[in-house]
A and B are shown apart, each in its own frame.
Chain A
């Protein structure tokens, strides 16, 4: 056997990966188009295509949109499309952040809320709702709620990180414990403020439960760069993640600067998490389980796991949100409920189908 055989074995894997990604992207586009059809207002599919087509600069002239009512146009473009795209972005962000956290902590039970991003965002939102909710402030078009939630998330993670520093190193166990402690502490503060919140309580609880009912295009514009750039940057560390999963010592002996890599990945994934939580509230299950689901089917190599998980997360959340939108007449269910209810049985199915024992 020559090096050609190795090459062929190796490139076969690469083309397999490319195929997987392509299939997933197609599935994502299909999901988006499918879910544009779902909603309270009945809008014909052809109308939807017309509305979308009108937005593409090149096709603009050749599409006749006179038959489409402006209300439907507004619904599609201002209400449904932003929600769906937000679902995709948030799902991708949470799943990717979950992959990173699980890799950094070498722990299958990690998700990106571990170091307090969700607690910080919730507290930020609560404080805003109580003390500044009526001010309807915006900053460059972004609601003050989102900004404070984002700041809360990121500050909390930074706090946990710097609490755990010992000299130049941040031991994983210390980080985990600090995260737990800070989470509990902020939860306690959260409870205190919730009790003082009066009328705002319903809104606060509803937001924390997670949902996309108030997404604007500006939210998407603000969060999309975090998620997209974050995932792309993280991609360059996927080889390091592979080696980190062998153990700290082994990774170091193979030349990985484990401390630096961990710092960078935690920074990226926490920023992503803060950004998505600030617009969608705290949606559980996605960051924890989607990486596992993907790993069960695709394998542990982070070079494919990271992008694939992101896309799977996007598709999953879009579908769940669409279900949440129409499950009960005009009112909505919180999307976090749907993700858990729908996701759990499917995950169990995957787990059992796997012939070999699943070890993380």
Chain B
């Protein structure tokens, strides 16, 4: 009785393993990247090389910054899918509602079925989607991961995307236009030869209190706008900091981002008045001189084609006398 039992069970296990193995292996699709002639190889920001055998006609963007690049290069008509958070440069929410555009979900959970239904031939992602990227590639899709950490990174990404979609010319134009804008700002600042202000950018408050470090693009924006990020020596991208350090470093300008979902003119946490009243902050130069700037959190959160606008806003905040107010 017991031997029969054991054999029976063993047989079941083996059969199950064989069947499932066969079933699965026959479905294993290592991706279309390695088939066909090698036409165009594009290496993304994570070092992964994708082969394009044809020019992509149906593009999905998994982040607003990527969407802006696509529209900036002029291939907006090829974009078939965006995220729920996209609202630039067009009111995509309305488009989605009207059925003229498809949403593939939020930031961290792009809906694979939605993506598959759109049968895209190019997907632009960011490092947030790393696990999804693995899955999407295993399903055979072309995925480029964009991860710009500074202004040059943005240029590189624009160029990369331009190459992948065969719009090299437009890409170069876009890059140049942005570059020019930034160059002129930098030149103006250099010419004025004023002392650079110390700047504190508040990424998050209160728990934890976070700023931007040397490897963040915010740091680059501040630098290009002629400021000195008081946490520019932190290697962490978004270091956790303490009030004490901020007070001790005594920034000249404080930049507070608005709520990303509801940009208005208030910082996303509390109000400017509340910030002034934070215990111990009264001695900070920026507070005493009332140089607290509320910036568009949405704008500053992404390293995309509008990076020039970011720098302009920052520059105006740092050198109000140099740059007349032109709203971002």
Contact = CB atoms under 8 A, between A and B. Distances in A.
A–B touching in complex (CB under 8 Å): yes
B20 interface: yes
Nearest to A78: B139
B33 interface: no
B99 interface: no
B236 A213 contact: no
A186 to B, nearest CB: 20
Contacts of B24: 217-218, 220-221
A143 B111 contact: no
A313 to B, nearest CB: 18
Contacts of B236: 196, 198
B60 to A, nearest CB: 12
B13 A224 contact: no
A216 B131 CA distance: 11
B84 interface: yes
Contacts of B129: 203
Interface string B84-125: 100000000000000000111111110111101101000000
A134 B28 contact: no
Nearest to B145: A134
B109 A331 contact: yes
Interface in A15-62: 39-41, 55
A12 to B, nearest CB: 19
A213 B127 contact: no
Nearest to B29: A78
A146 B156 CA distance: 32
B116 A199 contact: no
Contacts of A217: 24, 27-28
Interface stretch (A225-233, A248-256, A293-301): A225-233
Contacts of A284: none
B172 interface: no
A216 B17 CA distance: 17
A133 B147 CA distance: 13
Interface centre among B107, B117, B133 (most CB of A within 10 A): B117
B116 A202 contact: no
Given A213-B109, A330-B84, A332-B109, A200 B128 contact: yes
A7 to B, nearest CB: 15
Nearest to A83: B112
Contacts of B238: 198
Contacts of B285: none
Nearest to A334: B109
B21 interface: yes
A78 B116 CA distance: 10
A302 interface: no
Contact of B17 (A71, A75, A200, A225): A225
Interface in B240-276: 240
A262 interface: no
A215 B119 CA distance: 19
Contacts of B9: 232
Nearest to B134: A143
A79 interface: yes
Contact of A199 (B20, B113, B114, B128): B128
Interface in B124-176: 126-135, 137-139, 145, 147
A119 B115 CA distance: 32
A1 interface: no
A136 interface: yes
A180 interface: no
Given A200-B127, A224-B20, A330 B108 contact: no
Contacts of B21: 221
Nearest to B215: A198
A360 interface: no
A216 B135 contact: yes
B205 interface: no
A74 B17 contact: no
A199 to B, nearest CB: 5
A79 B105 CA distance: 16
A145 B145 CA distance: 18
Nearest to B81: A330
A289 B24 CA distance: 32
Given A202-B107, A218-B28, A133 B20 contact: no
Contact of A214 (B106, B117, B135): B135
Contacts of B237: 198-199
Contacts of A187: none
B229 to A, nearest CB: 16
Contact of A145 (B108, B114, B131): B131
B111 A134 contact: no
A80 B240 CA distance: 40
Contacts of A141: 28
A133 B130 CA distance: 7
Given A41-B116, A71-B117, A214 B84 contact: no
A182 B67 CA distance: 44
A224 B84 CA distance: 35
Contacts of B119: 71
A166 interface: no
Nearest to B210: A195
A214 B134 contact: yes
B166 to A, nearest CB: 24
Interface of B: 9, 12-13, 16-17, 20-21, 23-29, 45-48, 84, 102-109, 111-114, 116-117, 119, 126-135, 137-139, 145, 147, 208, 236-238, 240
28 contacts: A40-B111, A40-B114, A55-B23, A55-B27, A71-B116, A71-B117, A78-B27, A78-B29, A79-B113, A134-B130, A134-B147, A145-B131, A196-B236, A198-B237, A199-B127, A200-B130, A202-B128, A206-B108, A206-B109, A207-B131, A213-B132, A217-B24, A218-B138, A225-B17, A228-B13, A330-B84, A331-B105, A332-B105
Closest 3 CB pairs of A and B: A40-B113, A198-B237, A134-B46
Given A78-B27, A136-B48, A214-B132, 10 more contacts: A40-B113, A55-B26, A129-B130, A134-B47, A143-B134, A200-B128, A216-B138, A232-B9, A329-B103, A331-B105
